[in-house]
A = this chain, B = another copy of it.
């Protein structure tokens, strides 16, 4: 066993740290207060080549693993919270379906622009009435001569306001009871604003990175924009579920680390009743517990990533990592506010923003309840509960 980062991994993090150094607290506060997409930050990341961290080298990527991507997202969210992480999150793991199932032509056509940041893509899976039951998706893609005609509604699509490409899943044939996952197809095509209306959902946090409901009306996707085989889209999607959960766990970890550091600093500076508040066990013990929990969940996140990168089964570990990181993250962000007392409620102390952002990995991409059901079935052999 070896629990330490390699020299390459440490160098990577140092380099990233230098790259993003100038984006300070006020930058992120301003983005949040004004709902401004952090385009400067995204450009800096793209220019540094970071978007291709897990993409093949032949298209401009670094061909590293989910482990390195997770380390990268930990650091980014530790510095800029979910606003920073979400602004680039989709570029990191979203194109993996293209990498795995796209044709050579498609890869050449699409990947370089994604990696360079020229393309901003969004991801359209969830629908308003289907919740987490993906097989019930109603959006249809009807095959015409040279294109598919796509109609339907999607929800929870991030960055649709600033995007020029959409990855979308739609039904190309009817749902069969025996095989409900068949008949869904995956497309990567232009985000044509004549055919797609993106309505912003006002939400609790992360105002800088928009989230939308999409109303899709006769969107034409050329046949060369379908990924892999028609009807196999769901199986392609499944491949990216574990990396997504690992990255979301990494982001939750980073946000919590960010909040913990602020709490510790405040506890070391603020005096009440002539003593540092950090001297109070009611202040310091929860922070110590937070530290312990973050240490343990970081190992679990990296173990899941390591398994994935070694082509080993990692589903229960990835889910457990997302579950614990989100649970602990919620506790820790709440505690960071409590540590600040009333000041924790003021936006300028940043912890309330982190708390609002932490709710995202708590709620998405899958609920904590479904994660537990998954672990109960897969790790413990207990019966399906629903």
A121 an interface residue at 8 Å Cβ cutoff? no
Structural contact, B338 and A288, CB atoms closer than 8 A: no
Stretch at the interface among A50-58, A190-198, A290-298: A290-298
Structural contact, B382 and A264, CB atoms closer than 8 A: yes
Structural contact, B386 and A275, CB atoms closer than 8 A: yes
In the complex, what residue of chain B is closest to A378 when comparing beta carbons?
B288
CB neighbours of A4 from chain B (8 A): 1
Structural contact, B273 and A133, CB atoms closer than 8 A: yes
A216 an interface residue at 8 Å Cβ cutoff? no
Pick the most buried of A267, A279, A368, A385: most chain B CB atoms within 10 A of its CB. A385
A203 an interface residue at 8 Å Cβ cutoff? yes
| A229-274 with Cβ < 8 A to chain B | 264, 267-268, 270, 272-274
Structural contact, A363 and B382, CB atoms closer than 8 A: no
Structural contact, A303 and B3, CB atoms closer than 8 A: yes
A341 an interface residue at 8 Å Cβ cutoff? yes
A223 an interface residue at 8 Å Cβ cutoff? no
Whole-angstrom CA separation of A201 from B337 in the bound complex = 16
Stretch at the interface among A100-108, A109-117, A137-145, A344-352: A344-352
Number of A residues with CB within 8 Å of any CB on chain B: 94
Pick the most buried of A6, A287, A384: most chain B CB atoms within 10 A of its CB. A287
| A176-223 with Cβ < 8 A to chain B | 201-205
CB neighbours of A75 from chain B (8 A): none
CB neighbours of A173 from chain B (8 A): none
Residue of B126, B201, B330, B364 near A346 (CB, 8 A) is: B201
| A324 → chain B closest CB, angstroms | 5
Structural contact, A280 and B202, CB atoms closer than 8 A: no
CB neighbours of A337 from chain B (8 A): 359, 363
Stretch at the interface among A18-26, A41-49, A159-167, A369-377: A369-377
Structural contact, A203 and B264, CB atoms closer than 8 A: no
| A130-170 with Cβ < 8 A to chain B | 130-133, 155-156
Residue of B280, B367, B380 near A291 (CB, 8 A) is: B380
In the complex, what residue of chain B is closest to A327 when comparing beta carbons?
B289
A175 an interface residue at 8 Å Cβ cutoff? no
Whole-angstrom CA separation of A385 from B2 in the bound complex = 35
A284 an interface residue at 8 Å Cβ cutoff? yes
Residue of B275, B285, B317 near A372 (CB, 8 A) is: B285
CB neighbours of A385 from chain B (8 A): 279-281, 284
Residue of B264, B280, B360 near A281 (CB, 8 A) is: B280
- With contacts A2-B2, A203-B345, A369-B281 known, is A381 near B302, CB below 8 A? no
Structural contact, B295 and A317, CB atoms closer than 8 A: yes
Structural contact, A296 and B273, CB atoms closer than 8 A: no
In the complex, what residue of chain B is closest to A263 when comparing beta carbons?
B380
Nearest 5 Cβ contacts at the A-B interface: A292-B320, A299-B299, A131-B272, A288-B375, A204-B352
- Interfacial residues, chain A to chain B (CB-CB below 8 A): 1-6, 33, 67, 126, 130-133, 155-156, 201-205, 264, 267-268, 270, 272-276, 278-285, 287-289, 291-293, 295-297, 299-300, 302-303, 306-307, 316-317, 320-321, 323-324, 330, 334, 337-338, 341-342, 344-348, 352, 355-356, 359-360, 362-364, 367-369, 371-376, 379-386
7 contacts between A and B (CB under 8 A): A3-B3, A3-B302, A202-B346, A202-B348, A278-B383, A282-B372, A284-B372
